[in-house]
């Protein structure tokens, strides 16, 4: 078992480390790492430059403006990291917007410590990549056996869903909204999660980044189900912006809305975290898409039905 001191600057990585039984090795975390609850006591090594409570549109504008000037939207606390003296720092290169990036970490660590620090950077774009990242972290932290067991348990839960849906051929179309203003649909691994849960994701492709979309394109597709899952937003936070969606022309004429198949999920705790709880995310989608087949118990906490 490793005795290395680890700083995780990615919520998914923090969850992976804890699921591997290595939480005691964590000495620092990012401002977004909040699961399991026990990690909240760890020193916070990063912060975001936008104000908490900013609207979707305000966050989008600030992010685009910052990235245009080749700046980071996150600040890494170098002095704190120096005092924590880590052996391993985990970050990501999947998205400059979602979390502290590899570039941020490399700049922060340059000539900072008097030893070589191992940087593990994750870049998952699909479910296989998420499993590969778990294997990578497990191997690097001398926890290969725990990694294999974790993946086995995750795959078993997927198999249960696949088996139950084996003979269901009718796949409803699903629009997974990852950002409300401007509109963005969830790409990367989300179309794959929808597929496993028995649906067909519209206007997106597994392994491709989440695309901005025109409202008219969603209207033309007229999805059977709409799932609102803004990146980093809780259900309560998303509720505050539902009026933006409701005001879109023809929104109440959509099949999903007419048939009361509009849902809000916790996009902060699920879906956007490429760790062990990605399986919880599949189970949430299974409950939403196929309510007659699945009751895992996430309703009210992981997702709610939104009536217009």
Q: What is the CATH number of the domain that holds 22?
A: 3.40.50.1980
pLDDT of residue 99: 75
Count CB atoms within 10 A of the CB of residue 259: 11
If you average pLDDT over every residue of the chain, what do you get?
Answer: 94
pLDDT of residue 3: 87
> Does 113 reside within a domain?
yes
Are 171 and 282 contained in the same domain?
A: yes
| Distance of alpha carbon 74 from the chain centroid | 17
Please name which of 4, 26, 5 lies closest in space to residue 15, comparing C-alpha atoms: 26
pTM, two decimals, is 0.95
| pLDDT band, very low/low/confident/very high, at 113 (cuts 50, 70, 90) | confident
Mean pLDDT (whole number) for 123-137:
97
Do 102 and 198 lie in a common domain? no
- Shared domain for 87 and 14, answered yes or no, is yes
At residue 63 the predicted structure's pLDDT band, cuts being 50, 70 and 90, is confident
Assess whether pLDDT exceeds 70 at residue 224. yes
Asked whether 180 and 218 are in contact (CB, 8 A), the reply is no
Please indicate, yes or no, if residue 140 is contained in any of the structural domains. Answer: no
Does residue 150 fall inside a structural domain?
no
Same domain, 206 and 284: yes
pLDDT for 260 equals: 98
Cβ atoms of 28 and 86 closer than 8 Å:
yes
| Angle (nearest 5°) at CA 95 between 200 and 115 | 140
Based on the fold, state whether residues 112 and 171 are members of the same structural domain: no
Domain boundary pick from 123, 157, 182: 123
Q: Are residues 258 and 204 in the same domain?
A: yes
102 lies in the same domain as 172? no
pLDDT tens digits for range 67-88: 776 567 888 999 999 999 999 9
Pick 308 or 96 by higher pLDDT: 308
Q: How many domains does the chain have?
A: 2
Judged against a pLDDT cut of 70, whether residue 51 lies above it is answered with no
Same-domain status, 69 and 173: no
Average pLDDT over residues 128-135: 98
State yes or no: pLDDT of 233 exceeds 90: yes
- Based on the fold, state whether residues 112 and 181 are members of the same structural domain: no
**Which residue range forms the structural domain that includes residue 242?**
167-305
């Amino acid at each position: 078992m490793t005795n290395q001191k680890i700083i995780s600057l990615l919520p998914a990585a923090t969850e992976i480390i804890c699921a591997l039984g290595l939480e005691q090795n964590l000495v620092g975390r990012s401002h977004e790492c909040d699961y399991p609850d026990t990690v909240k006591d760890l020193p916070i090594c990063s912060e975001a430059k936008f104000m908490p409570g900013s609207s979707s549109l305000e966050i989008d504008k600030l992010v685009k403006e910052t990235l245009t000037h080749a700046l980071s939207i996150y600040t890494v606390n170098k002095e704190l990291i120096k005092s924590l003296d880590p052996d391993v720092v985990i970050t990501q290169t999947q998205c400059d917007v979602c979390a502290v990036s590899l570039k941020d970490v490399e700049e922060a660590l340059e000539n900072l410590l008097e030893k070589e620090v191992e940087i593990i950077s994750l870049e998952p774009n699909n479910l296989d990549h998420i499993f590969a990242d778990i294997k990578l972290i497990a191997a690097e932290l001398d926890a290969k056996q725990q990694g294999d067991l974790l993946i086995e348990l995750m795959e078993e839960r997927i198999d249960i869903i696949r088996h139950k849906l084996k003979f269901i051929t009718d796949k409803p179309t699903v629009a997974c909204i990852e950002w409300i203003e401007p509109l963005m649909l969830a790409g990367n691994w989300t179309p794959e999660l929808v597929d496993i849960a028995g649906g067909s994701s519209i206007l997106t492709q597994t392994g491709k980044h989440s695309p901005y979309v025109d409202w008219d394109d969603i209207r033309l597709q007229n999805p059977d189900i709409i799932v609102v899952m803004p990146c980093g937003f809780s259900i309560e936070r998303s509720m505050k912006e539902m009026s933006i969606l409701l005001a879109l022309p023809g929104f109440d004429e959509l099949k999903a809305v007419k048939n009361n198949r509009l849902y809000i999920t916790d996009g902060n705790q699920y879906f956007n975290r490429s760790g062990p709880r990605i399986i919880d995310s599949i189970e949430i989608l299974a409950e939403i898409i196929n309510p007659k087949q699945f009751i895992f118990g996430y309703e009210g906490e992981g997702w709610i039905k939104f009536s217009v």
